[in-house]
Amino acid sequence: MPIATGFAMYFVIWWISLFLVLPWRAEPEAAPVEGHASSAPRNPHLVKKLLVNTALAAVLWLLVYALVHSGWISFRDMVRDE
C-alpha cells in the first residue's frame, strides 16, 4: 500500500471511528441551563475521546494494512475489469 493510500485510509477510518466514540460517557446535565439543549453533555471528555479514537483508528488501520499486505484484500483487483 503506497504511503498516500495509507494516510488516506487512516484519515477515513479515524473519522468513521470518531462517530463510534463520541456518544461514550455522554451524560446530560441534571438541571440544564436555560438556553442550552437538554441533551447537551455535562462534560463531553473530548480530549479523552480523541485519544481513544486515535488509538482505535490505529488498531483498525493496522488490521486493514495486514489484510491488504497479505493479499486478502486487493484494491487493484477491485478496480480491474474482469
Share of the chain above pLDDT 90, in %: 46
Residue with cell 485519544: 51
- pLDDT for the residue numbered 81: 63
Q: Give CA 60 to chain center in angstroms.
A: 9
Q: Tell me, yes or no, whether 35 lies in a domain.
A: no
pTM score above 0.85: no
Q: What are phi and psi of 41, to 5 degrees?
A: -70, 145
- pLDDT for the residue numbered 82: 59
Q: What is the pLDDT of residues 34-73, one digit of tens each?
A: 887 877 788 888 999 999 999 999 999 999 999 888 877 7
What domain range is 60 assigned to? 3-26+41-79
Q: Tell me, yes or no, whether 12 lies in a domain.
A: yes
Q: Tell me, yes or no, whether 34 lies in a domain.
A: no
Give the helix ranges, DSSP H, for the chain: 3-21, 46-70, 75-79
Q: Tell me, yes or no, whether 67 lies in a domain.
A: yes
Q: Tell me, yes or no, whether 31 lies in a domain.
A: no
Closest CA to 52 of 82, 79, 76, 25: 25
Q: Tell me, yes or no, whether 72 lies in a domain.
A: yes
Counted domains in the chain: 1
